[in-house]
C-alpha cells in the first residue's frame, strides 16, 4: 500500500504521524520544508474544551459555538467529532513537549471570538510554531525508521487518474526540475487558496492554490468557495497583510471609531454579550457599516493600551514586536489603525466526514479541504481542524487505500507556472468582486473579466487558476442570501429553505457548474 501526502503543514504532518504510529509508510511531499509552512505563522491558539478556567465548559458548548459561528453550514457529525477529539489532541501536544501556559488547574485558556467560554490554549503568540516544532520532531523519529519519506521542495502538478480513480500523483522537484510519479492513494493537505489573492492575505503566498486548481481541472468537486474569511484586524504591509491576532481582543483589546470626534466602542454597544469577540464575519461587517456612517471617521482603531504589562510580556510579546517592527507603533502605548483583510478559506476540496473527496482513492484535509468551519471559522478551530482532519484522513486511507494500475503516462509534463501578471490580474478581479459585502452586478462583471482573461492564458496552470477563480465567483453569485462570511447587499437575509446547503463547484467540459447539495449528502 503506497500513501502519498501532499503538503507538510499541520494537516500533512498529522496524517503522516497517524499512519506511522500504526506502522504504515507514507511519502510526505511538499513545496517547502515544514518549517516554512503557513501553520508556523499561527499565533493565537488552538481550541479544546479542557475546562481549566472554572467556567464549567463542556464539549457540547464547543460544538454549539462552532455550529453557530459557521452559521449552520457545517456537517454536525463532523463538528461533533472535531470537538470530542480536541481535548486529547491538545493533551497529546502537551506530551510532545509544547510549552503551553499553565495555572494551578492545568493549561490556561483564553477568550477567542465567537466562543462563550475561555477555550483557546496557546503558547505566548507562537502557538503554530510550537505545535509544528513538536510534530516535525515526532515525525522525524519515524523518518529515521523509514516509515515517512520526505520529499520537500517538490511541487504537486496533477493526479494520475485511471478510470475515474486516483492512482497517484505527478510532482516536480523544484531544484532540479525532475518529474517524479508516485503511485497509490493521495491525501491533499496543501493549505488555503491564498494565491488567488496574491499578497493580499495574512497567509503565505506559497500556498498558490494551484494544487486545488489542478484537481478541480481533473474533475474533483470543490465546495463553499464563496466563504472567504475577512479577519477584522489586519494591516497592509509590504507584500502581504499583517495579522493582529484575535488574541489581542481576547486579552482585552477594544475596537473603536471616532464618531463626531469622540471614540465610539461600537462592538461593545451593539453586542453587549460578546462585545469585541463576536465572530469575525460579524465584526468585519460592522466595521464596514460604521466606517460608512456620515458622523464617523473612516478609520477603525484597536485600543490595546489597557492590557497589563505582564500580559504583554507573557502572552502577546511577538504581537507587540511585530507592531513596533512593521508599523513603528507601540500598541501598549497607543491605539493602532486596523481594517479587515482576507485571512482564511472555509471552502475548498469537498470531503465527507471521513475526508474522502469526490474521487475514489483521493482524500483531503486541513485548510485545502471544506470541512468543520461552515460559513465562518472560529479562531483557534483551524489548527484543531488541520490536526484532526489529518488524523481522520489517515485513518480512512488506512482501511481502504488501494493500489490501482497507473495507465501509460504521457512523457511531456506541463510544468509552466502562472506569470506574475496573470496572478496579479486574477487577484485584482477577485478583490473587486468579493469584498465583505457583495452584489451581483459586480460579480457578473468579474465573470466577464475572468472569461476574457482565461482566453489569454498561456499554459495549463493559468487556465486552471482562471477556472478556479470563476468557480469562486460563480459560487458567490449562486448563493443568493447572506450567511456568515458571504454578505450580499442584494440579498441581505439568510435563507435556510434554499441555502442551508453546500455550494458545490465542478468543472465539466471546460465549464464551471454550480449546484447546491444537502449538508452531509453523499459525494458523487
Ligand X SMILES: Cc1cc2nc3c(=O)[nH]c(=O)nc-3n(C[C@H](O)[C@H](O)[C@H](O)COP(=O)(O)OP(=O)(O)OC[C@H]3O[C@@H](n4cnc5c(N)ncnc54)[C@H](O)[C@@H]3O)c2cc1C
Active-site pick, 155, 280, 356, 483: 280
> Which C-beta is closer to ligand X: that of 127 or that of 361?
127
Segment interacting with ligand X (CB under 6 A) among 1-9, 95-103, 266-274, 502-510? 1-9
Residue 280 catalytic? Answer: yes
| Distance in angstroms (rounded) separating the CA atoms of residues 193 and 347 | 9
Residue with cell 463542556: 58
Segment interacting with ligand X (CB under 6 A) among 65-73, 78-86, 91-99, 380-388? 380-388
Please report whether residue 367 would count as binding ligand X according to CB under 6 A. Answer: yes
| Distance in angstroms (rounded) separating the CA atoms of residues 246 and 216 | 33
Nearest to 319 by CA among 260, 258, 248: 248
Segment interacting with ligand X (CB under 6 A) among 16-24, 199-207, 323-331, 448-456? 199-207
What would the grid cell of residue 509 be?
467540459
Q: Is 96 exposed, middle or buried (0-12, 13-18, 19+ CB in 10 A)?
A: middle
Please report whether residue 114 would count as binding ligand X according to CB under 6 A. Answer: no
Total H helices, total E strands in the chain: 15, 26
Single residue of 3, 17, 107, 189 touching ligand X by CB under 6 A:
189
> Which C-beta is closer to ligand X: that of 7 or that of 340?
7
Please report whether residue 233 would count as binding ligand X according to CB under 6 A. Answer: no
Single residue of 39, 276, 284, 376 touching ligand X by CB under 6 A:
39
Binding mask 386-405 for ligand X (x = CB under 6 A): x-------------------
> Which C-beta is closer to ligand X: that of 282 or that of 383?
383
> Which C-beta is closer to ligand X: that of 346 or that of 471?
346
Number of residues that bind ligand X (CB under 6 A): 44
Q: Is 64 exposed, middle or buried (0-12, 13-18, 19+ CB in 10 A)?
A: middle
φ/ψ (deg, to 5) at 105? -90, -5
Please report whether residue 331 would count as binding ligand X according to CB under 6 A. Answer: no
Q: Which residues contact 348 (CB under 8 A, 6 or more apart)?
A: 192, 193, 212, 222, 223, 224, 225, 364, 367, 368, 369, 370
Single residue of 3, 5, 11, 418 touching ligand X by CB under 6 A:
11
Terminal-to-terminal C-alpha distance of the chain? 25
> Which C-beta is closer to ligand X: that of 193 or that of 359?
193
| Distance in angstroms (rounded) separating the CA atoms of residues 176 and 178 | 5
**11: three-class secondary structure by DSSP:** helix
CB of 182 to ligand X, least distance (A): 12
Single residue of 279, 335, 366, 374 touching ligand X by CB under 6 A:
366
CB of 207 to ligand X, least distance (A): 5
Please report whether residue 148 would count as binding ligand X according to CB under 6 A. Answer: no
- Which H or E run contains 228? strand 228-237
**337: three-class secondary structure by DSSP:** strand
Please report whether residue 41 would count as binding ligand X according to CB under 6 A. Answer: yes
Task: Just list the catalytic residues.
Answer: 280
Binding residues for ligand X, per CB under 6 A?
Answer: 6-12, 30-32, 37-39, 41-46, 127-128, 155-156, 189-191, 202-203, 206-208, 210-211, 243, 344, 366-368, 379-383, 386
Amino acid at each position: 500500500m503506497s500513501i502519498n501526502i501532499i503538503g507538510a503543514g499541520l494537516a500533512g504532518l498529522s496524517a503522516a504521524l497517524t499512519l506511522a504510529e500504526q506502522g504504515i509508510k507514507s511519502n510526505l511531499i511538499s513545496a517547502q520544508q515544514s518549517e516554512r509552512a503557513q501553520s508556523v505563522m499561527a499565533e493565537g491558539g488552538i481550541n479544546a474544551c479542557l475546562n481549566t478556567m472554572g467556567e464549567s465548559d463542556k464539549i457540547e458548548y464547543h460544538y454549539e459555538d462552532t455550529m453557530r459561528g459557521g452559521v449552520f453550514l457545517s456537517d454536525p457529525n463532523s463538528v461533533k467529532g472535531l470537538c470530542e477529539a480536541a481535548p486529547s489532541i491538545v493533551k497529546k501536544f502537551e506530551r510532545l513537549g509544547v510549552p503551553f501556559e499553565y495555572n494551578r488547574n492545568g493549561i490556561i485558556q483564553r477568550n477567542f471570538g465567537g466562543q462563550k467560554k475561555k477555550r483557546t490554549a496557546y503558547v505566548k503568540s507562537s502557538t503554530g510554531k510550537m505545535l509544528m516544532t513538536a510534530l516535525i520532531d515526532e515525525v522525524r523519529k519515524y523518518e529515521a525508521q523509514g516509515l515517512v519519506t520526505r520529499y520537500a521542495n517538490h511541487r504537486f502538478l496533477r493526479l494520475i487518474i485511471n478510470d475515474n480513480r486516483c492512482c497517484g500523483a505527478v510532482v516536480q522537484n523544484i531544484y532540479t526540475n525532475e518529474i517524479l510519479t508516485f503511485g497509490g492513494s493521495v491525501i491533499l493537505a496543501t493549505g488555503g487558496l491564498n494565491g488567488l489573492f496574491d499578497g493580499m492575505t495574512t497567509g503565505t503566498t506559497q500556498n498558490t492554490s494551484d494544487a486545488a486548481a489542478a484537481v478541480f481541472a481533473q474533475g474533483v468537486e470543490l465546495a463553499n468557495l464563496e466563504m472567504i474569511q475577512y479577519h477584522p484586524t489586519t494591516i497592509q504591509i509590504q507584500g502581504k497583510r499583517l495579522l493582529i491576532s484575535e488574541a489581542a481582543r481576547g486579552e482585552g483589546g477594544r475596537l473603536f471609531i471616532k464618531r463626531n470626534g469622540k471614540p465610539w466602542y461600537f462592538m461593545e454597544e451593539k453586542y453587549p454579550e460578546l462585545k469585541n469577540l463576536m465572530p469575525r464575519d460579524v465584526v468585519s461587517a460592522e466595521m464596514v457599516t460604521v466606517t460608512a456612517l456620515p458622523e464617523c471617521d473612516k478609520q477603525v482603531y484597536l485600543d490595546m493600551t489597557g492590557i497589563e504589562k505582564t500580559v504583554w510580556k507573557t502572552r502577546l510579546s511577538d504581537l507587540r514586536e511585530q507592531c513596533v517592527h512593521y508599523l513603528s507603533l507601540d500598541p501598549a502605548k497607543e491605539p493602532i489603525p486596523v481594517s479587515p483583510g482576507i485571512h482564511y478559506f472555509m471552502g475548498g476540496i469537498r470531503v465527507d466526514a471521513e475526508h474522502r473527496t469526490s474521487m475514489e482513492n483521493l482524500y483531503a484535509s486541513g485548510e485545502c479541504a471544506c470541512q468543520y468551519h461552515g460559513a465562518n471559522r472560529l479562531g483557534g478551530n483551524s489548527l484543531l481542524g488541520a490536526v484532526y482532519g489529518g488524523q481522520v484522513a489517515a485513518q480512512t486511507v488506512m482501511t481502504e487505500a488501494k493500489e490501482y494500475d497507473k495507465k501509460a503516462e504521457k512523457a511531456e509534463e506541463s510544468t509552466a507556472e502562472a506569470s506574475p501578471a496573470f496572478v496579479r490580474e486574477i487577484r485584482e478581479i477577485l478583490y473587486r468582486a468579493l469584498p465583505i459585502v457583495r452584489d451581483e452586478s459586480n460579480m457578473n462583471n468579474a465573470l466577464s473579466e475572468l472569461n476574457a482573461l482565461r482566453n489569454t492564458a498561456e499554459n495549463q496552470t493559468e487556465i486552471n487558476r482562471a477556472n478556479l477563480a470563476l468557480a469562486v465567483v460563480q459560487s458567490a453569485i449562486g448563493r443568493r442570501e447572506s450567511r456568515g462570511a458571504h454578505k450580499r447587499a442584494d440579498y441581505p437575509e439568510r435563507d435556510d429553505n434554499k441555502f442551508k446547503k453546500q455550494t458545490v463547484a465542478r468543472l465539466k467540459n471546460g465549464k464551471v457548474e454550480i449546484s447546491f447539495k444537502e449538508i452531509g449528502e453523499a459525494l458523487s
